[in-house]
Structure 1
Amino acid sequence: MSSASSSDDSKTSEEMLNIVLGYIVDVLLSLSIAGSFLTVLTFMLFVKLRTYPIRLILYLCMSIFFAQLFFEISFKTYDTLFCLPAAIILHYFFLADFIWTFCVAFNFYQMIVKRNRDAESFEKYYHLAAWGIPMFIVVFIAGFQKYQNRGGFCYLENEVPVFVGFFVPGLLIVCANAVIFFFIAREIHDTLKNAPRTEKKEKSKEFRVYFSIFVSIGLSWIFGFIMTFFTNKVLELIFLVLFSITTPLQGFLIFLSYCLNDKVISSYAKAFGTFIPFCKRWENYGSISHVSSTTGTNSSTRSSHDSSRSENLSSSTDSISMKPIK
């Protein structure tokens, strides 16, 4: 009796946890959808800020926005004629999201590690891969009629299509992104380690670069993939919570990383300053901050080869840089 009672209590606890996580995920997804939308809106409005690295982030945010939006829609339309289209669109944009994270990761590798000044030449291949490969996979699976209502949710019908059409591509891309992140982080660390003492103090800036890259290349998905390999309930629960908190927030965290900076604030201030006079006080915020930081950097790095490498690195990673690539 006691074992049966403890088993029932365990099931009840798991059900309660799933319900709580469900509400948390809904809230975080709403923030992410809003964040990805605002990121796209920001860089569509302000052309001067839309440098080549930022364009890739913009396309990534488009994928995140539609993937997460249709994730929510798939729960609302399971008993309607829109169930099948919602499932197809959801699957397509999640795959596009994965591939765009790899494109962003590969671009960071080209700019930071390889210091490739011609990295922009890869963009056409990114579009072919990020929009074309998901289309091929979705059409192939749809040909076998594997999209359906899974009892309150519109998606792939069972484990085999999910494994082949989502899990395997996602796992391969996340693993590749993790390897690329290692080389990028090592290059950043080695460069900043040899920087002048004044720059070494800027640990928060270094962490912000790591954080921006980590978020942009979707490494939080690794928690979800690792979770599937554990049979231990405690470890599975830990990674489930980590996955449920971090991954649904991707769009919002990208917004924090790329839109909450002086240049974006200054651009919005100039846009709204014409009819909201209070905003005018922020119009020169970006240029003042940029001039002061540039002056400080130049004065401390003129005589150092290592510091020039640091400048190159920072220019490659300024949101991760908002300077136009020539």
Structure 2
Amino acid sequence: MANQIDPTLNTVLGYIVDVLLALSIAGSFFTVLTFMLFPKLRTYPIRLILYLCMSIFLAQLFFYISFEAYDSIMCIPSALLLHYFFLADFVWTFCVAFNFYQMIVKRNRDAESFEKYYHMASWGLPLIFVIFISAFKKYINRGYFCYMENQLPIFLGFFVPGLLVVCANAVIFFFIAREIHDTLKNAPRSDKKEKSKEFRVYFSIFVSIGLSWIFGFIMTFFNDGVTDAIFLVLFSITTPLQGFLIFISYCLNDKVLSNYARLFGRVIPFCRRWEHLGSSTHISSTTGSNTGSSNSSRSDRSDRSDMSSSTNSISMTPIK
């Protein structure tokens, strides 16, 4: 497949990926920093995003290191850690997707009870893969890059688990999107502003569960030089930006900005003028209706209330 793709395109995409990875590393780092600095913002769904961003940050960081440490004693350790944290990234995306499903589709108010199992899976399963591959000494210097040997180790140790996770996440995303759409489609005219929030929630879920990886996996099934090049471009532009897009989805909102304004306002009084941003937002749980509404109408509004609560806790994007 690699021979079918224009070398110039590969070179250009290489530079683009370097820039986007730098943005993603910075974005995931500042997402972690933000929610470590402000515990009140660290709700249960946000904690899962925090752990996901830790995996993204370390995976992409060791991706860079693997290119720099190929001729040093750090070659094999960097290859091992690169593999481990990318697998952890995959498993955390599934945990985040499953949590969205529990909160939005199943309306599970006790979803937090799954967190301990998420940690066991996300940190434990990758360790099993890494130990097994290390036992067969399949981490090598591939020439200017430290990673696994070709063919079987990569297929079984990365491609198969990654493909399974991405396929599962795609199925879960379908049910989540359908539930959100079905709940909000009959909203009264005064609730039409929810449509923009609905799109933002779709976007935040899409980037959080790493669905852009699907472009890379689809690319491997084509070898005509055109289709695989199209998916290569899509993959190279979207996937390296995951950490940055998560930062945009979860940190660029009034709640976070008001907390930063309060923090910096301690040393820069000028920043205090933005402290009110978080408190000035109001999340409407239901919309006013006629006092003579039927029981089914009240039930529908209750569904929208639960949906508003769930999606707000996920996206942290306030409705003004």
Q: Shorter-chain-normalised TM-score: which range?
A: over 0.9
TM-score after normalising by structure 2: 0.93
Cα RMSD after superposing both structures:
1.8
Contact conserved, 1:212 with 1:257, CA < 8 A, in 2? yes
Query: How much does 1:224 deviate?
Result: 0.1
Per-residue deviation at 1:298? 4.7
Q: CA separation in 1, counterparts of 2:135 and 2:5?
A: 41
Instruction: State the partner residue of 2:159.
Output: 167
Offset from partner CA, 1:285-320 (integer Å, 9 cap, x none)? 111122xx439x554698543232112112111151
Superimposed CA distance per residue, residues 141-172 of structure 1 (whole angstroms, 9 cap, x where no aligned partner): 00000001111110001111000000000000
Distance in structure 2 (CA, Å) of the matches to 1:152 and 1:57: 33
1:115 aligns with 2:102: no
User: How far apart are 1:321 and its partner, in Å?
Assistant: 5.5
CA distance in 2, matches of 1:321, 1:237: 33
**1:220, 1:243 within 8 Å by CA — same for their partners in 2?**
yes
Q: What TM-score does the superposition give when structure 1 sets the normalisation length?
A: 0.91
Which stretch shows the higher mean deviation, 151-160 or 312-321? 312-321
What is the SS of the residue equivalent to 1:148?
strand
CA contact (8 A) 1:227 1:240 kept: yes
1:142 is matched with which residue? 134
Aligned pairs (5 A) from 1:35-50? 35-50=27-42
Unpaired runs of 5+ residues, structure 2, are none
- Pairing 1:184-195 to 2, within 5 Å after superposition: 184-195=176-187
Q: Does 1:306 align with 2:306?
A: no
Alignment partner of 1:48: what SS?
Answer: helix
Cα distance in structure 1, aligned partners of 2:162 and 2:189: 41
Deviations 1:211-233 (A, max 9, x none): 00000000000000000001221
Indicate which of 61, 73, 78 corresponds to 1:86.
78
Superposition deviation, residue 90 in structure 1: 0.2
1:102 aligns with 2:102: no
Counterpart of 2:311, as a letter, is T
SS in 2 for 1:59: helix
Instruction: Report the equivalent of 2:260.
Output: 268
Please list, as runs of the form range in 1=range in 2, the aligned pairs for 1:1-326 lying within 5 A after superposition: 14-290=6-282, 293-294=283-284, 297-299=286-288, 304-320=298-314
Preserved contact between residue 98 and residue 170 of structure 1 (Cα < 8 Å)? yes
- Structure 1: 5+ residue runs without aligned partners? 1-10
Residues 50, 322 of structure 1: 8 Å contact kept: no
**In 2, distance between residues paired with 1:264 and 1:92?**
31
Q: CA deviation at 1:13?
A: 7.8
Mapped contact 1:301–1:307 kept (Cα < 8 A): no
- Per the alignment, do residues 321 and 207 of structure 1 end up closer, same or farther by CA in structure 2, a change over 3 Å counting? closer
1:241-293 CA distance string (max 9 Å, x none): 00000000000000000000111011111111111111111111111122xx4
Q: Aligned partners of 1:167 and 1:258: how far apart in 2?
A: 29
Alpha-carbon distance in structure 2 between the residues aligned to 1:21 and 1:308: 48
Query: Does the 8 Å contact 1:194/1:307 carry over to 2?
Result: no
Q: Quick one: which amino acid aligns to residue 169 of structure 2?
A: N
Q: 1:70 is aligned with what amino acid?
A: F
Q: Which amino acid aligns with 1:274?
A: R
SS in 1 for 2:140: strand
Give the letter for the 1:306 counterpart: D
Change (3 A) 1:12 1:239: closer
**What is the DSSP-based 3-state SS (H/G/I as helix, E as strand, rest coil) of the residue aligned with 1:320?**
helix
Q: Give the Cα separation in 1 of the matches to 2:290 and 2:245.
A: 32
CA distance in 1, matches of 2:61, 2:281: 36
| Mapped contact 1:35–1:254 kept (Cα < 8 A) | yes
Contact 1:216 1:254 in 2 (8 A): yes
CA gap of 1:269–1:299, structure 2 versus 1, over 3 A, is farther
